[in-house]
Structure 1
Amino acid sequence: MPQWTQAPEGSNWGRFGADDELGTLNYIGPAERQAAAAEIREGLAFCLSLPLDVPGTVSIHPRRKAPMLQPTCLGDTPYINYPLSNVEAGLQDVLSDDQVLMSLQYSTQWDALAHVGAQFDADGDGEAESVYYNGFRAGKDVVGGGCAGAHGSYAHRLSVARLAESCVQGRGVLVDLLRHFGPGRSIIGLTDLQQAMKAQNVSLRPGDILMLRTGYAEALLDMQTAPDPARLDQTGAVLDGTDTALLTWLGEMQIAAIAADNYAVENPHNAAGSCCYRLPLHNHCLFRLGMPLAELWYLRDLAQALEARGRNAVFLTAPPLRLPGAVGSPVSPVATI
């Protein structure tokens, strides 16, 4: 039985079952993967991840911290260049072993469906409660502890581990917004997006992962030796989450996910008043549709290769870490053409 009596308008709640935790990734099945494999013609592979210590010298999110690599230790002994002795055989191995502490959504990442919920009257009793996709509840299905080293934050449902178990593998389709609109900041609604798609002969099928190149991640990577936060803020296209036509279209197209090379995919809404959520596209995709979002992918090399060949589709493999309870994950996507 569903955990709700009423669902948000235009949502996918219940579409894939009362207990569904995959959302639009359900659109990728064996047939879609098999069709996606046909995009492999040359066997060329492209890494779509930034180095996971980027943003690095340019701070774009104060809560998210860069990776801290350390050796594993036994007592006070660090296991880096550590000699392992086999006295009887007269042999000695040398071992290095390490660990990392990092924010899971610091660099190239997936947002799980537990990342963004909303205040919504899912019970139909006239009082809104904090809920996530498919009616899963804050405090029950998504719980949390404190800060200062406390443990306990945990997504019992909708965690990024569910995405990993689905494998996130299928047909990725690139729309090169940088090529069409240039490197400056532009707000992209449905008309703009369809204009770029038509110019680049892009067509989408159900189950596709829509990849958006804006140039933001490329600029971020280039700035590691000469940071320029002011210029970065004016770099690259962002989707207009207040464009209701765009939001409706995303649901109608039955795409599996959106992966962008920028921060947040959309333009954060800062207008006064109560017309919109702070991140309306996140609300629509993660909360209503159950559509995972990915950010800060590196798409320059792939985009150049596809443009040279007059192509825009790839075989994409991009599973996150299978980390139970996590609401986001670093990822190293691979596109093969």
Structure 2
Amino acid sequence: MTAERAVYSNWGRWGSDDERGAANLLGGEVVLDACRLPTKGRVYNLGIEVRQGAPVAGRRISPVHLMASDGGDYAALGREDWGTADDYLFLASGGTTHIDGLSHLWYGGRMYNGFSFREVRSSGAARCGIEKVGGLVARGHLLDFTTFPTKRPGLIGTADVTAYVAARGLKVQPGDALLFRTGWIETALGGTLQEASCPVVASDAVEWIAEHDIAIVGADNPAVEAVAERGVLPPLHQILLRDLGVYIIELLTLAEPARDGVTTGMLVVAPLLISRGVNGPVNPLLIV
């Protein structure tokens, strides 16, 4: 990608100082529309457990969970009638199930809305920090490509999304979220991962995403798209985050709602309010 004007762009759409991108699509009426979807009161956790050895995105390390005090410690007073336990957690903000902030990526010296990459320094992101996102409530559509053939082996493109939406009768509206199930997370957790056996979202799917004003794109793998070579920016990330301000959620677990036949539900995503953070750990909820 170059610094030239992108084919798809939301720069300036919500003002020259906007730092929230497609989150602006999730206004009051869109949120209320999503809230009307649940009819069963069933809540699905879409995040993976935060633990040592769980799948992580990219070259990040596994979470480290340490106890500060416990039932066997002198600090806990060694009492049986009452006591307290406390713990610490060290993890990559983009390691476990997480949402990519709009300051996570840039090219041509610019990140979303034209802000300079120099706004992201060792002290964090002065622009487009994850704390600017706030809570996201949207209509979430589960697209299960473990059971739906694609035109190109291993790639989910615009034609495939079009065919899936038509086959399942999904009604997609501006501000909606697309959640792609590829089967990656189940095979990774089961220790039988074969990358080639799980499809990824192709860069040309951005055509469908942009034309339908999608606000959030998520998947049950570490990058949504194919993992790029070292030193190469993944193209879908470039267009979604930098050009469109569309949020990406990685390492979702979608098997349970898929098994229950869920196609659309109320999606709730609340990133940790990490000041000047570039990513946010999340446990998204899909409510039906």
Question: What TM-score, normalized by structure 2, do the two folds share?
Answer: 0.89
Question: What TM-score, normalized by structure 1, do the two folds share?
Answer: 0.77
1:250 equivalent in structure 2: 209
Query: Match for 2:199 among 230, 237, 245?
Result: 237
Q: Which runs of 5 or more structure 1 residues have no equivalent in the other structure?
A: 73-78, 86-90, 120-129, 145-151, 271-276
Q: Residue 83 of structure 2: SS of its match in structure 1?
A: strand
AA partner of residue 130 (structure 2): V
Larger radius of gyration between Structure 1 and Structure 2: 1
Q: Residue 178 of structure 1: SS of its match in structure 2?
A: coil
Query: Match for 2:157 among 186, 189, 192?
Result: 189
- Partners of 1:99 and 1:279 lie apart in 2 by 33
Q: How does 1:3-42 map to 2 (within 5 A)?
A: 7-42=5-40
1:142 equivalent in structure 2: 120
Alpha-carbon offset, residue 6 of structure 1: 7.8
- Partners of 2:50 and 2:67 lie apart in 1 by 18
Q: How does 1:205-216 map to 2 (within 5 A)?
A: 205-216=173-184
CA contact (8 A) 1:71 1:80 kept: yes
1:261 equivalent in structure 2: 220
- Partners of 1:247 and 1:60 lie apart in 2 by 22
Q: Residue 315 of structure 1: SS of its match in structure 2?
A: strand
- Partners of 1:333 and 1:20 lie apart in 2 by 24
Q: Residue 179 of structure 1: SS of its match in structure 2?
A: coil
Query: Match for 1:159 among 106, 125, 129?
Result: 129
- Partners of 1:235 and 1:263 lie apart in 2 by 15
Which deviations, in whole Å up to 9, do the C-alpha atoms of 1:108-147 show, x marking residues without a partner? Answer: 111101111101xxxxxxxxxx2110111122x2112xxx
AA partner of residue 299 (structure 1): L
- Partners of 1:40 and 1:321 lie apart in 2 by 25
- Partners of 2:141 and 2:170 lie apart in 1 by 8
Q: How does 1:1-337 map to 2 (within 5 A)?
A: 7-53=5-51, 56=53, 61-62=58-59, 64-72=60-68, 79-81=69-71, 82-83=75-76, 93-119=82-108, 130-139=109-118, 141-144=119-122, 152=123, 154-163=124-133, 165=134, 167-181=135-149, 186-223=154-191, 228-229=192-193, 231=194, 233-241=195-203, 243=204, 246-268=205-227, 278-305=233-260, 307=261, 311-337=262-288
Alpha-carbon offset, residue 279 of structure 1: 0.7
Alpha-carbon offset, residue 16 of structure 1: 0.6
Give aligned-pair identity as a percent. 28
- Partners of 2:254 and 2:112 lie apart in 1 by 29
AA partner of residue 63 (structure 2): P
Alpha-carbon offset, residue 287 of structure 1: 0.5
CA contact (8 A) 1:107 1:296 kept: yes
CA contact (8 A) 1:28 1:207 kept: yes
Which deviations, in whole Å up to 9, do the C-alpha atoms of 1:197-220 show, x marking residues without a partner? Answer: 222222210111111111111111
- Partners of 2:57 and 2:94 lie apart in 1 by 12
Q: Residue 210 of structure 1: SS of its match in structure 2?
A: strand
CA contact (8 A) 1:176 1:212 kept: yes
The CA RMSD over aligned residues, in Å, is 2.5
Alpha-carbon offset, residue 249 of structure 1: 2.5
CA contact (8 A) 2:130 2:278 kept: yes
Which deviations, in whole Å up to 9, do the C-alpha atoms of 1:14-64 show, x marking residues without a partner? Answer: 00111111111111111011111111101011111111237x2667632x1
Which deviations, in whole Å up to 9, do the C-alpha atoms of 1:293-319 show, x marking residues without a partner? Answer: 0111000001112x2xxx511011111
Q: Which runs of 5 or more structure 2 residues have no equivalent in the other structure?
A: none
Which deviations, in whole Å up to 9, do the C-alpha atoms of 1:210-263 show, x marking residues without a partner? Answer: 11111111111222xxxx45x2x123211111x2xx323221211111011112
CA contact (8 A) 2:54 2:189 kept: no
CA contact (8 A) 1:84 1:92 kept: no
CA contact (8 A) 2:57 2:96 kept: no
